[in-house]
Amino acid sequence: MSADRVLQADVGIVGAGPAGMAAANVLAAAGLRVVVLDEGHRAGGQIFRQLPVGSHNAGAIAEPPSHHHGHALLATFDQSRVTLRCGASVWDARPGRLWFEQDGASWLLRCRHIVLAPGAYDRCIPFPGWTLPGVLTAGALQVMVRGFGIVPGKRAIVAGSGPLLLPTVTALLSAGVHVVAALEASSRWRALRALPGVLGNGARLSEAFWYARQLLKAGVRLRWGWTIFGCEGDGRVQRAIIGKVDRSGRPRRETAQTVDVDVVGAGFGLVPSIELGLHLGCTSRWHEGGAGHALVVDAEQRTSVENVFAAGEICGIGGAEVAMAEGHLAAHAVLHAVRGTAVPVAVRKKARRERGAADAMLRAFAPLPGLHELAQADTVVCRCEDVTLATAQAAAALYGSSLRAIKVGCRAGMGPCQARICGPSLQALAGREPTRAMDLPVVQVPLKAVRSETIVNAPPA
């Protein structure tokens, strides 16, 4: 019964964001059969999210200058002969094979080459009250505004760290939300470390100016060295407690003040979505800045596994420019493998330049260790299993400090998200110096929760 649920392609691409689309466009233009799988409902990924079919953004939602790349990419992608499968959750894989669930049905994509471009997700650092409805990740608010045209609320606070706070603030402003405060935990001086990467890169510089202008126009001041201490409310967020942090991110409780809000966006950087890569057996490395694990690729985006390539955030957080450049490069590396054509030097150089600029940014906004002191003993750290900080710390003390030990000691990370939310901070919360390498997550099938019958009906390899 599953025989008709098999797709064939030369290249299977996971992710229809900037990296995946850039790769797909090059490969389709070269005449290869390309299938792109994405869990979203339209191409674009998180950064170039499109509104649902039937709605159009004719200026109502402000867009930074870099988004014209996105429009160009999407236009080419829409006209290309790429097969896009939306709402597709990839749950199992091996080189040359990708199993996915779509609309509750079990599918297999057979493809000689795989390009991994699954992007990233927000890094969460728990604080009291972060489980209240109305407290979302920074990325979630952008999806709400730019992906669905929904107004998040009336009064918002955005807190966290890294370049992603600015697009979150501007998205809220576009939606008419009063942004009460925008809090960047890093100090202004630490952020200066990003400067070399920005100054040497015209696009990034103009982007930074654009955001600065948007904030200025709305009268929103970015508060450096501030963060959110907690949220309160009856059944949903109604108040936020904010205050200053010291240079290591440790809250200075004496500076706490309470503000009325009805929505909070928190994002402490991004975590590369490496689960599929790990499952395929690709080698990964720990980013020394503490920004998480990422896949290792060679100078032309090849992973350690034959015929598996990777591009964009999965190779290290870098943003859309890096993703597009690497997606482009990965496609040329695939073409080289298929046809023996040379990889253009300019494509390789461009990817390397963009990656260099991004790495400087990453170092400037690496997670501050002291932020892990925001959570209190009774703060839930694993939301799936309702595990509090005290319980997780007790588990680490008795069972051991490895990720595995904390998990079996209190069930943290064993729920449906499979530790994607709590995993990156669990060991730091239990006392490990966050700049030290955290344990790699153990990846288990299904990579995303799928129906039992999807597993049973999986078409044979």
Partner 1 sequence: MTNTRIPGLGERPPVEFTFASRSVVAQAGDSIAMALWATCDLTLRQSSRDGAPRGVLCNMGICYECLVVVDGVTVRACTTLVRAGMHVELGGKP
Partner 2 sequence: MAETADLIVVGGGIIGCAAVQHLAQLLPRSTRMVLCDRGAIAGATSGSCMGHLMVTPDDAQEYAFTARSVQLWRELNERHGGFDYNPTGALYLADDAADIELFAVLRQQFIDCGDRADILDAKQLRELEPGLAFDLPGALFYPGDGVVLPMLACRAMLQEARLHNPNVSVRPNCAIFGVRRAHGRVLGVDTAMGPIDAPIVVNATGVWAPDLAEMAGQPRLPIYPRAGNLAITGHHVTPIKTQLLEVSYIRFAHGTAKVDPTRTDDLGGHAVNMQPQTNGGCLIGSTRQFRGMDRTLNRELLHRSLLRAQRYAPGLAAAPIVRTWVGLRPFSIDKHPLIGPWPGLEGMWIAAGHEGLGISLAPITGLLLAQQIAGVKTAIDHRPYLPARFAP
SS3 (DSSP) at 80: coil
In the complex, minimum distance from the CB of residue 261 to partner 2, in angstroms, rounded to a whole number: 30
The residue within the footprint of partner 1, chosen from 83, 102, 131, 307 (CB under 8 A), is 131
CA-to-CA dists, residue 234 to 179, 231, 432, angstroms: 21, 10, 34
Report what 444 binds from partner 1, partner 2, none; CB cut-off 5-8 Å by kind: partner 2
Residue 337 engages partner 1 in binding (rule: CB under 8 A): no
Residue 80: CA count within 13 A, CB half-sphere: 26
Q: Does residue 126 have a cis bond before it (omega within 30 degrees)?
A: no
SS3 (DSSP) at 186: coil
The residue within the footprint of partner 2, chosen from 95, 363, 404, 437 (CB under 8 A), is 404
Residue 453 engages partner 2 in binding (rule: CB under 8 A): yes
The residue within the footprint of partner 2, chosen from 416, 431, 436, 440 (CB under 8 A), is 416
Sequence-separated (6 or more) residues with CB below 8 Å from residue 257 = 241, 242, 243
SS3 (DSSP) at 135: strand
In the complex, minimum distance from the CB of residue 451 to partner 2, in angstroms, rounded to a whole number: 5
Report what 121 binds from partner 1, partner 2, none; CB cut-off 5-8 Å by kind: partner 1
Residue 402 engages partner 1 in binding (rule: CB under 8 A): no
Which residue intervals of 340-422 are DSSP H helices?
A: 345-364, 389-399, 403-410
Q: Interhelix angle for 389-399 vs 403-410, to 10°?
A: 120
- How far is 404 from 406, CA to CA, in rounded Å? 6
Asked if residues 374 and 127 have their Cβ atoms less than 8 Å apart, the reply is yes
In the complex, minimum distance from the CB of residue 383 to partner 1, in angstroms, rounded to a whole number: 6
Residue 133 engages partner 1 in binding (rule: CB under 8 A): yes
Q: Which of residues 416-455 bind partner 1 (CB under 8 A)?
A: 416-417, 420-421, 448-449, 451
Quick one: which H or E segment has residue 254? none
Report what 324 binds from partner 1, partner 2, none; CB cut-off 5-8 Å by kind: none
The amino acid at 14: V
Report what 89 binds from partner 2, partner 1, none; CB cut-off 5-8 Å by kind: partner 1
Residue 97's DSSP bridge partners are 94, 110
Residue 375 engages partner 2 in binding (rule: CB under 8 A): no
* Bridging pattern class, strands 135-137 and 263-268: parallel
Residue 418 engages partner 2 in binding (rule: CB under 8 A): yes
Instruction: Please give the residue ranges that form the binding site for partner 1 (CB under 8 A).
Output: 39-41, 46, 51-61, 87, 89, 104, 121-122, 124, 131-137, 139-141, 143-145, 147-152, 174-176, 235-236, 380, 383-386, 415-417, 420-421, 448-449, 451
Q: Which positions lie near partner 2, rule CB under 8 A? A: 104, 384-385, 394-395, 398-402, 404-405, 407-411, 414-416, 418, 444-446, 449-453, 455-456, 458
